[in-house]
Amino acid sequence: MKLQNDTFLKALMREPTDYTPVWMMRQAGRYLPEYRESRKTAGSFLQLCKNPSFATEVTLQPLDRYPLLDASILFSDILTVPDAMGLGLYFEEGEGPKFERTLREEADIQKLAVPDMASLQYVFDAVSQIRKTLNGRVPLIGFSGSPWTLATYMVEGKGGTDFLTIKKMAYARPDLLHRILDITAQTVIQYLNAQIAAGAQAVMIFDSWGGALSHNAYIEFSLNYMQKIVNGLTREHDGRIVPRIVFTKGGALWLEAQAEIGADVLGLDWAVDIGSARKRVGDKVALQGNLDPAILLSTPAAIEKEVVNILASYGHGNGHVFNLGHGITQWTPQENAAAMLAAVREHSRQYHSK
């Protein structure tokens, strides 16, 4: 099963490519009618995640629609991990994720343990089945949440909060939060290594809420644990390096520190100019990003203009993977996503001339 398109894997390792590869965070999702159809058949979002055949079907949908995508990403969710840790994940129609139980009491936190990876076997089965079905078309990305981001859901019990419960814990009982983060980091290492063993060809750590922290707290409660994970990951599988992408949403203030933890690639949200980010990290890491997903709600002309700006800002040379600065929104017209992909392919070749 030879990989037919390794542009993405090469760019992650800052090797030369003919053009800038591109994928979209949340590329399999509600903006696609075929996704909404599959979700209806499966019954719910979680049933799509927990059934490897549905997860495979949905992972492939954006690739079938958009041949210009250079990577696929496992269809799942970061919250499968706290679910396996016994917190009881559920979704209510029209609302974000919630947990039946929260981790706030000292006794509950003392009882927290690394779950048996068998409880996440459906994820590893999905990875193998997706790899088989892809049959070498493009590489497959595996992923996990960062310990800090997962802990925000475990302590707060839901998304969309101001993080005051977990921040109070960070400042009043750092020992308790460190215990949660430590067990979660150990879990994520096993979880990502099992995804790699099942066939994930690159892995991404989503630190969606790291940007809510103060400078010192970010280093102590988020970055340190991502470093532990990166150090614990399988470096090579099937004769190829497995690149690691670390993405802290709202984290561009700390790019220099992020570049030191052993990741190959840093994800950028749209707030930072990618050219300045490149100067700050030098040749330590590749960069992934960073179009504002809201631009995809506008017009093909506006989208093309912004793609051109980002490519020009990054400039000549290797080490850029084009992406959105966060997940594609459910209101994105499908033709606008197509316009973005076409613009990246068309305008990026000039930056890769030998």
30 catalytic per annotation: yes
Q: How far is the CB of 206 from ligand CP3 (least distance, A)?
A: 4
If binding is defined by CB under 6 A, does position 104 make contact with ligand CP3?
Answer: no
If binding is defined by CB under 6 A, does position 327 make contact with ligand CP3?
Answer: yes
Nearest Cα to 109, choosing from 81, 159, 151? 151
Q: How far is residue 292's CA from residue 91's CA, in Å, rounded to a whole number? A: 26
Cβ-contact 290, 274 below 8 angstroms: yes
26 catalytic per annotation: yes
Nearest residue to ligand CP3, by Cβ distance, number only:
208
Which DSSP symbol is given to 14?
A: T
If binding is defined by CB under 6 A, does position 163 make contact with ligand CP3?
Answer: no
Nearest Cα to 58, choosing from 71, 76, 80? 76
If binding is defined by CB under 6 A, does position 208 make contact with ligand CP3?
Answer: yes
Q: How far is residue 157's CA from residue 60's CA, in Å, rounded to a whole number? A: 31
If binding is defined by CB under 6 A, does position 8 make contact with ligand CP3?
Answer: no
90 catalytic per annotation: no
Nearer to ligand CP3, 57 or 347 (CB): 57
Nearer to ligand CP3, 45 or 163 (CB): 45
Nearest Cα to 8, choosing from 75, 76, 69? 69
309's tokens: 């700006």
Nearest Cα to 70, choosing from 131, 4, 120? 4
If binding is defined by CB under 6 A, does position 39 make contact with ligand CP3?
Answer: yes
- Tell whether the torsion through CA atoms of 171, 174, 176 and 180 is positive or negative: positive
Q: Select the residue interacting with ligand CP3 from 22, 78, 112, 337 (CB under 6 A).
A: 78
Residue 84 CB burial class (10 angstroms; 0-12, 13-18, ≥19): buried
If binding is defined by CB under 6 A, does position 73 make contact with ligand CP3?
Answer: yes
Catalytic residue from among 30, 65, 104, 179: 30
Q: How far is residue 115's CA from residue 123's CA, in Å, rounded to a whole number? A: 14
Catalytic residue from among 14, 26, 137, 345: 26
If binding is defined by CB under 6 A, does position 38 make contact with ligand CP3?
Answer: no
If binding is defined by CB under 6 A, does position 25 make contact with ligand CP3?
Answer: yes
Interface region with ligand CP3, contact rule CB under 6 A, candidates 19-27, 120-128, 226-234, 272-280: 19-27
Helices 174-198 and 121-134, axial angle in degrees (round to 10): 40
If binding is defined by CB under 6 A, does position 158 make contact with ligand CP3?
Answer: no
Which residues in 253-312 contact ligand CP3 (CB under 6 A)? none
Catalytic residue from among 77, 83, 207, 264: 77
Which residues in 121-150 contact ligand CP3 (CB under 6 A)? 143
Nearer to ligand CP3, 212 or 347 (CB): 212
77 catalytic per annotation: yes
Catalytic residue from among 31, 35, 153, 218: 153
If binding is defined by CB under 6 A, does position 188 make contact with ligand CP3?
Answer: no
39 catalytic per annotation: yes
Query: Which residues have C-beta within 8 Å of that of residue 200, sequence separation ≥ 6?
Result: 74, 127, 140, 141, 142, 192, 242
List the beta bridge partners of residue 232. none
CA distance readout (Å), 101 to 27, 119, 158, 237 = 30, 18, 10, 37
83's tokens: 């679910």
Task: Enumerate the active-site residues.
Answer: 26, 30, 39, 77, 153
Q: Using CB under 6 A as the criterion, which residues of the chain lie in contact with ligand CP3 when the complex forms?
A: 25-30, 39, 45, 73, 75, 77-79, 96-97, 143, 159, 206, 208, 249, 327
